[in-house]
């Protein structure tokens, strides 16, 4: 048998599969971020010659976009760290990765809702719930890959496994806490710890959301 007919080594096959997953995932992240910014447009009825009116009308959407951009970027970093340390993939990992990507693709929907009804309770809770679901799906991805060093190198540091498992779990729980402590009068009472929790706390803080009350009231008469 010549070299042309030889089968590729298992490590080479694993590397190819990982590269395909990374390329697919990066493409989904890029599309999700692009869809976020496409939602920023001037609402009907706004005077195009009034700069202050344009800024007031676009600011809630832009803030929602900025928050989601930071959150999605942090999830990309987490996914990137996982893909760097695994040695191979299997079918279950692929499906868990698709679950994670599903929630990433939903981010533009929750962000659009947040921008349309900025400072109100229900959209903030929905946004926090989607963020929590994304965080838990990333945690599941890591738990499966690291369980019994299933997809990791056998000599991977166990302390690093425990640290990442705890970090990803607390990240998801932080978004759940943000949603649970959202109050229409007092805002978020919990002290923010993660990117998602800090973002939700910022949205619901009374002094912050009060600045947009005039804009929200004006939208009722459009």
Q: Quote the pLDDT of residue 44.
A: 67
**Under the phi-then-psi rule, with left for phi > 0, alpha for psi from -120 to 50, and beta for the rest, what region is 89?**
beta
> Bridge-partner residues for 86, per DSSP?
152
The structure tokens 């929790």 sit at 197
DSSP structure string for 38-64? HT--PPTT--TT-HHHHHHHHHHHHHH
pLDDT by residue for the chain (222 residues), tens only, comes to: 444 444 444 454 456 778 889 999 999 999 999 888 877 766 666 666 666 777 777 777 788 788 889 889 999 999 999 998 888 888 999 999 999 999 999 988 888 887 677 667 787 888 888 888 999 999 999 999 998 777 888 778 888 888 888 888 888 887 777 656 555 444 444 444 445 555 544 444 444 444 444 444 444 434
What pLDDT is attached to residue 63? 80
Q: State pTM to two decimals.
A: 0.71
- Torsion sign, CA atoms 113, 114, 115, 117: positive
Q: b/e map of 3-32 (b: 16 or more CB within 10 Å)? A: eeeeeeeeeeebeeebeebeeebeebbeeb
């Amino acid at each position: 048998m010549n070299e042309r007919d030889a089968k590729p080594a298992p490590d080479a096959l694993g590397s190819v599969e990982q590269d395909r997953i990374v390329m697919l995932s990066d493409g989904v992240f890029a599309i999700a971020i692009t869809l976020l910014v496409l939602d920023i447009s001037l609402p009907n009825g706004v005077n195009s010659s009034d700069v202050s009116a344009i800024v007031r009308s676009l600011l809630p959407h832009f803030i929602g976009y900025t928050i989601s951009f930071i959150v999605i970027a942090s999830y990309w970093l987490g996914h990137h760290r996982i893909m760097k340390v695994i040695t191979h993939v299997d079918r279950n990992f692929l499906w868990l990765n698709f679950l994670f990507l599903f929630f990433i693709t939903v981010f533009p929907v929750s962000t659009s809702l947040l921008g349309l009804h900025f400072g109100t309770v229900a959209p903030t809770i929905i946004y926090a719930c989607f963020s929590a679901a994304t965080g838990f799906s990333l945690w599941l991805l890591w738990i499966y890959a690291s369980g019994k060093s299933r997809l990791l190198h056998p000599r991977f540091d166990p302390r690093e496994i425990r640290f990442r498992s705890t970090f990803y779990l607390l990240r998801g729980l932080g978004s759940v806490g943000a949603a649970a402590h959202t109050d229409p009068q007092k805002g978020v009472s919990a002290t923010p710890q993660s990117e998602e929790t800090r973002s939700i706390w910022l949205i619901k803080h009374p002094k912050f959301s009060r600045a947009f009350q005039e804009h929200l009231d004006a939208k009722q008469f459009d």
